[in-house]
Amino acid sequence: MHLEYKPGDLTMFDHAGKRMSIVSRDTWEVIPCACFVAILPFSGLIFATFTPAKETQVN
């Protein structure tokens, strides 16, 4: 299925995959993180970065 997108009309984003960890070079602290991915579907550009994991609690 082929979908058409207008420029600047839509951004898709999500946290992808399993959680990972990075190690601080200064303190050797293990920091849990998540991979954040954003996609601009018209151009096909992809942005990905690792961000510190945030725990959320649902009541």
Distance of alpha carbon 31 from alpha carbon 11, whole angstroms: 28
Is the residue at 4 inside a domain? no
Average pLDDT over residues 6-28: 88
- Quick one: pLDDT at residue 56? 52
Is the residue at 46 inside a domain? yes
- Tens-place pLDDT, residues 19-49: 888 898 999 999 888 888 999 999 999 999 9
Query: Are 11 and 37 contacting, i.e. CB atoms less than 8 angstroms apart?
Result: no
Is the residue at 6 inside a domain? no
Expressed as residue numbers, the domain containing 33 is: 12-52
In which residue are the tokens 């399993």 written?
Answer: 18
Is the residue at 33 inside a domain? yes
pTM of the shown model: 0.66
**CB neighbour list of residue 5: distance below 8 Å, 6 or more residues apart:** 41, 42
Is the residue at 24 inside a domain? yes
Nearest to 53 by CA among 20, 8, 27: 20
Domain count along the chain: 1
